[in-house]
Each structure stands twice: as structure tokens, then as C-alpha cells.
Amino acid sequence: MDKRLWIAEENSKRLDVFLSEQLEDFTRSRLKKLIEEGNVCINGKPTAKAGAEIRVGDEVTIVIPDAVEYAAKPENIPIDIVYQDADFAVVNKPQGMTVHIGSGVCEGTLVNALLYALDSLSGIGGVLRPGIVHRIDKDTTGLLVVAKNDKAHVSLASQIAQKTCKRTYYALLEGSVKTDSGRIVTDIGRHPTERLKMAVLPDGRGKIAVTDYEVVARFGQEFTLCKFDLQTGRTHQIRVHAKHLGHPVVGDPVYGYKKQKFRLNGQLLHAWQLRLTHPTTGEEMTFNAPLPTAFCEILEKLCKQYGVDRASFSTLFNE
């Protein structure tokens, strides 16, 4: 049995539409059957209505009777656990590591490593995504929180949905960003022709995505170091919004420039800070992870080349 839970971030969506957006590999007919058979609950109450209205903050759970043929297995893969207690763990994910298995990836993921390293993980994410409350891209580095029990999972997922969990990223962008700060508000959804990509879509065609940004340092007209605060959490959100600004993330193999100045294995995008409320104690907690070595080395070179004093962002370095 595969059980999954989501916290709705928007009002007035039909249940079948909401589920189809979460479970993109499921056909609408399969989802309708699961609903009609009583496998879906809204706020703990079963419903057989595909058109049931979903409101922000609603807890939507689905039980998929036919379990997948394989589940994640523990693997002894070294990972950087920044913090852990009985309820959750905060992990500093390295570049090149996928968060969970799926789409042909069945080993070497963060979930495989977590199953080996931690004493427990929540079961809400199902057999493929135990403990996973939110994700970051394979080639993005930095912090994410992992739930160790279902109660903590619900609390943490609700914080993300209600935008009380704050996530701050740093990225090196191509070119010189025009304004020193701003807010990007667009709809983001699946690219109409390139299905592996996301894109900014006309209003109403995707999900609302909101990103705040602030310029930290400029390196001539060639590069800009920016801080990003996520107000929503759409797939590839910062990468898509950076491209929308006309300044894609350096090293981005999907949304960036084909010709790169640096030899990189992925985008220079790092989840630097995570602020959340402890699921049990209610304590406000903040976690930071310094920029990875490759990112730091490039910034050091740019500072010397353009005469930029790195003192204003020295806290980003592992010193």
C-alpha cells in the first residue's frame, strides 16, 4: 500500500484536478477510479466526489492499493546531516544527487542514503519517497528538511504550504541584473512542447509562483550574485524565474546558456538557509549551509578579477 499526503496551497481546485497535478504519471481515469473507490480523504474524511472543492490548507491523502513493484533500499552513502532529533532531520544535499527514486532512478538517491543513516522516516511519502517533505533539484545543492514520523511530516508540509517555512537560496546569474531587488510573480507550469522543462505560462495556465530576489554582488556586466527567497515552491522555480529575468543561473544545463565560461557539473544554485518551526516544541529554528567548494572557488576568482570585496557576503563561505 502506497499512502501519500499533500497540503493544498490554493483555493477552489477540483479534487481530480488537484491530484492530477500532484501525480503527473497517473491518468485522469485512474485517479477517478481511486476517488470513487474511497481511497482519497480530505482532512481525514473519505470522499468519492471527483469534483470536491479543495481549499488552501486542506490535507489531501490518497492510498494507492497496488503498491509499486520496488521500494527504496538502504545504501551506505555518506551524507551531511546538519541536524536531527526524533522528529526531523536537516540535510545538506550535494550536487548530482537525486532526492528520491523514480523515472528510471532506483539507487544512489538521498532517500537510499537516509534509509541507511537515520533510525526512522515518515511513511506519508510512500515507499518511494519516505520522509520527503519537499525537494530540490538533482544539481542544486543545499538544505532540505526530512520528516522522521508522520506527525512531523504533516506539520512541516503545512508550514511549507502556508509559507511559514522560509527558504533562502543563492545563485550566480549570467549578466548584470538591472534592479537591485524585486519580486517575480508569474504562473509556472509544464513547458507546452518540451515536457522535461518548466516554463512561465500565461495567467491561469499554470500555478502561481512568487520569488523575491536581491543583488548581493556584481561582477562587471558579466555575472551577478543574487539572494532568492521562495514564497512558493514550484518545480525549478528559481531557475525558471532567473531565465524569465533574462539572466539564467550559471551552469544551468536546461535553462542556461549553451556556452559556459566555467566547467561545471550543474547550476550554481544553493539552498543556503532553512527557517522552520519545530513540529513538537514550537521553537523557531534556523539552519545554514555554506556554499559548496566549487561555488566558493568561482566567487573567489571573480572577486579578484573584478576587484570586488567579498566581506559583504563572507558568511556564505565555509570558514
Helices H / strands E in the chain, number of each? 6, 16
Q: How far apart are CA 267 and CA 252, in angstroms?
A: 4
Q: How far apart are CA 33 and CA 19, in angstroms?
A: 12
The 10s digit of each residue's pLDDT in 4-22 is 899 988 876 789 888 888 8
- Name the active-site residue from 137, 150, 180, 203: 137
Under DSSP, the state recorded for 132 is B
Asked if 119 is an active-site residue, the reply is: no
Q: Which domains are present in the chain? A: 2-64 (3.10.290.10), 80-161 (3.30.2350.10), 166-271+291-316 (3.30.2350.10)
pTM of the model: 0.79
| Structural contact between residues 54 and 114, judged by C-beta atoms closer than 8 angstroms | no
Report how far residue 133's alpha carbon sits from residue 158's, in angstroms, rounded to the nearest whole number: 10
Phi/psi at 6 (nearest 5 deg)?
-135, 155
Per-residue pLDDT tens digits of the chain, which is 319 residues long: 678 899 988 876 789 888 888 887 676 777 888 898 889 999 999 988 888 999 999 999 998 875 444 467 899 999 999 999 999 999 999 999 998 877 566 788 999 999 999 999 988 777 778 888 998 999 999 999 999 999 999 999 999 988 899 999 999 999 999 999 999 999 999 888 887 789 999 877 888 999 999 999 999 999 999 999 999 989 899 999 999 999 999 999 999 998 888 989 899 999 999 999 999 999 999 999 999 999 999 999 999 999 999 888 888 887 6
The three cell numbers locating residue 40: 482519497
For the CA atoms of the chain, what is the radius of gyration?
Answer: 20
